[in-house]
Amino acid sequence: MSANPDQVDTTSRVDPIHPVPSRLLDPAQCPTPYVSSFDQYKTMWKESVEQPEKFFGNLANELLTWSKPFETVRHGSFQEGDVAWFLEGELNACYNCVDRHALKNPNKVAIIHEGDEPDYVKKITYGELLQEVSKLANVLKARGVKKGDNVAIYMPMIPEAIVSLLACARIGAPHSVIFAGFSAESLRDRVVDASAKIVITADEGRRGGKNIATKRIVDDALKACDSVSNVLVYQRTGSEIPWTEGRDLWWHEEMAKARSYCAPERMNSEDPLFLLYTSGSTGTPKGVLHTTGGYLLGAAATVKYIFDYQENDIFACMADIGWVTGHSYIVYGPLTLGATTVLFESTPTYPTPARFWELIAKHKITQFYTAPTAIRALRRLGDQWVEGHDLSSLRVIGSVGEPINPEAWDWYNEKVGKGRCAVVDTYWQTETGSIIITPLPGAIATKPGSATFPFFGIDPVLLDPASGKELEGNGVTGVLAVRQPWPSMARTVYNNHSRFLDTYLKPYPGYYFTGDGASRDIDGYYWVRGRVDDVINVSGHRLSTSEIESALVLHHSVAEAAVIGGHDDLTGQCIHAFVTLKPNVEEAEGLEKELSLQVRKIIGPFATPKRIYLVSDHPKTRSGKIMRRILRKIVNAEHHELGDTSTLADPSIIPSLITKVHG
């Protein structure tokens, strides 16, 4: 971080620099941002990495309520893999998100639920939320859920999903939310891995005017799953659903029996708050584990500083609660600060592509957070949908999930932000718990496509991938790592600490390894380029190529499959699968379609391959390893620069592969 962007000469640059919009720094127009100059940011950042005990000790006391104070702010190291924060401290995440606001301000709206149909709006106050969460906590306790028991949540985007997370937090039962787009088999794997006792779900979901058979998927998942004693079912649509007597319970019947106050469990700062399964480059999905104090502080601090949250703001994050963005920026971050959070059940294009903009105007949203894939899709549908809506309430608009291309950034800035909002391109991961590289609205001039500078407590480095040496200075490209622990980082992989160490802490000893490649430009700005491992990112959904390959080879005709990420203008990346058939299996008509369905069935619709190629062989080394690099180049039309193919067992297959892909 050498240059001060306020003083950078923008005229001779390739990358345009957008200064902080003057409106944000004008007290007559906007509340003054918490950090309102680059120098102030630099001073605070320096303190946060040089004196983390002081910086985060103060922040943890400012933003969180502790039932027992902590004494030790920071403990452990990347070398030992024993990172812990606020050791002796005790606090309850649900108390911090609900009670303390309900006691002071019971009539403040905590959740605005905008249903699938635009006229379906429900507001829930902090006072009501406390009662609902307490009741559900009592229901769970009555069914034998105790502190430390894992609870699986498979729910549509309804307030009861938030109530479920918070009720688990209240009684100290770590929740494991499984994105409702996952198939029965993926759900089962996750429920089994976490030995969940209870699954909380709904009869059906509603999305884009259609019903989704949520409970049926749960039933399929639980066919071979012994740990689950009860399924609690919220009635969302009232359709007929299958029922297993003795196991299934109606939410409304159980809630009617429950007392409406439940004392929050005393939790140590390092007690687990939740698991969230995510894809890695190898093997089965891993249950990334977050603990209470550090995670909650990260979520709250980033909402405060990165979204510049001020009292009475209306905060809207469009992510699904099944992903980490929903956890941190629909639930824990905004509610810890006592904000009003918007929960959106529908899609950006239902009933029309004006839905987001109508939502912003209707609820006077001040912070709006979505993904590049949605921005690109809406941009493509034309400006007429965004024009004519009153978006003047907005101050900060954010992007997350994948690199945002400058064209999409410009459109978001001009058409949605009207050039008068801060655009924050926020980089982070399930494992980081909260945003780690990002602009701050009042302090950092932005460059479209760059996530700019590190958040407080984050000391990023770029490493040479081969030697692991730090790349010094600016104008360098390498793999992105972090030099010292921060409060909201994941602590382990559930039941598999060695996997945690192997994935994140051992590849480059002494650092946390993100798995992403990045550059630091001549002004010190960070540009995250994308994964350097076998993880692909489709519309911000994180998938591992090996998971998709495993789903394909389960088909009786498939011998071998190689999956790679291709470039896609809309979804960022898309899935291309190269499949060889078993000997004596004919290329039956419709086989590609069948294979595609197989992937949908085993993982979920969002993992559907864009193209499946039936090929006679894969490009392999003499030792039989598939060279995915070559397939990637062919798919992305870079086959004129295949590089050295002499290590291939049979280089003559290349032309046939090119013909297969490009015709």
Q: List residues binding ligand WTA (CB under 6 A).
A: 278, 323-325, 400-403, 425-430, 451, 514-516, 528, 530-531, 537, 542
- 115 or 372, CB closer to ligand WTA? 372
- 174 or 401, CB closer to ligand WTA? 401
For the bound state, the minimum distance from the C-beta of residue 125 to ligand WTA, rounded and expressed in Å, comes to 29
- 216 or 628, CB closer to ligand WTA? 628
For the bound state, the minimum distance from the C-beta of residue 81 to ligand WTA, rounded and expressed in Å, comes to 20
User: What contacts 20, CB < 8 A, 6 or more positions away?
Assistant: 422, 441, 442, 443, 444, 445
- 126 or 494, CB closer to ligand WTA? 494
- 126 or 409, CB closer to ligand WTA? 409
Which of 42, 35, 47, 44 minimizes the C-alpha distance to 2? Answer: 42
- 422: β partners: 396
Q: How far apart are CA 292 and CA 460, in angstroms?
A: 24
- 90 or 516, CB closer to ligand WTA? 516
For the bound state, the minimum distance from the C-beta of residue 302 to ligand WTA, rounded and expressed in Å, comes to 11
Cβ 580 vs Cβ 615: under 8 Å: yes
DSSP 529-595: EEESSSEEEETTEEEEHHHHHHHHHTSTTEEEEEEEEEEETTTEEEEEEEEEEPTT----TTHHHHH
Give the DSSP letter of residue 68. Answer: B
Ramachandran quadrant class, 35 (left: phi over 0; alpha: psi -120 to 50; beta: rest): beta
Q: How far apart are CA 638 and CA 652, in angstroms?
A: 18
For the bound state, the minimum distance from the C-beta of residue 572 to ligand WTA, rounded and expressed in Å, comes to 9
Cβ 463 vs Cβ 508: under 8 Å: yes
Which of 64, 87, 193, 170 minimizes the C-alpha distance to 496? Answer: 193
For the bound state, the minimum distance from the C-beta of residue 108 to ligand WTA, rounded and expressed in Å, comes to 28
Cβ 577 vs Cβ 550: under 8 Å: no
Cβ 182 vs Cβ 214: under 8 Å: no
- 276 or 342, CB closer to ligand WTA? 276
For the bound state, the minimum distance from the C-beta of residue 480 to ligand WTA, rounded and expressed in Å, comes to 9
- 188 or 542, CB closer to ligand WTA? 542
For the bound state, the minimum distance from the C-beta of residue 568 to ligand WTA, rounded and expressed in Å, comes to 15
- 377 or 543, CB closer to ligand WTA? 543
Q: Which tokens belong to 184?
A: 């029965």
For the bound state, the minimum distance from the C-beta of residue 429 to ligand WTA, rounded and expressed in Å, comes to 4
For the bound state, the minimum distance from the C-beta of residue 180 to ligand WTA, rounded and expressed in Å, comes to 16
Whether the bond between 351 and the residue before it is cis, its omega within 30 degrees of 0, is: yes
For the bound state, the minimum distance from the C-beta of residue 574 to ligand WTA, rounded and expressed in Å, comes to 15
For the bound state, the minimum distance from the C-beta of residue 337 to ligand WTA, rounded and expressed in Å, comes to 19
HEC letters along 290-329? EEHHHHHHHHHHHHHHHCCCCCCCEEEECCCCCCHHHHHH
Q: How far apart are CA 288 and CA 279, in angstroms?
A: 10
- 147 or 529, CB closer to ligand WTA? 529
Q: Which tokens belong to 467?
A: 């030697």
Which of 237, 240, 159, 164 minimizes the C-alpha distance to 199? Answer: 164
Residue at shortest CB range from ligand WTA: 430
Q: How far apart are CA 310 and CA 394, in angstroms?
A: 12
- 89 or 604, CB closer to ligand WTA? 604
- 351 or 524, CB closer to ligand WTA? 524
Which of 271, 96, 248 minimizes the C-alpha distance to 166? Answer: 96
B/e letters for 585-622, b = 16+ CB within 10 Å, e = fewer, are eeeeeebbeebbebbbbbbbebbbbeebbbbebbbbee
Cβ 379 vs Cβ 416: under 8 Å: no
Sheet holding 460-463, edge to edge: 460-463, 476-482, 512-520, 526-531
Q: How far apart are CA 663 and CA 660, in angstroms?
A: 6
CA dihedral sign of residues 440, 538, 602, 490: negative
- 274 or 427, CB closer to ligand WTA? 427
For the bound state, the minimum distance from the C-beta of residue 472 to ligand WTA, rounded and expressed in Å, comes to 23
- 135 or 447, CB closer to ligand WTA? 447
Q: How far apart are CA 623 and CA 632, in angstroms?
A: 20
For the bound state, the minimum distance from the C-beta of residue 448 to ligand WTA, rounded and expressed in Å, comes to 12
For the bound state, the minimum distance from the C-beta of residue 662 to ligand WTA, rounded and expressed in Å, comes to 27
For the bound state, the minimum distance from the C-beta of residue 501 to ligand WTA, rounded and expressed in Å, comes to 18
Angle at 116 between CA 113 and CA 117, to 5 degrees: 100
Q: How far apart are CA 282 and CA 290, in angstroms?
A: 21
- 171 or 423, CB closer to ligand WTA? 423
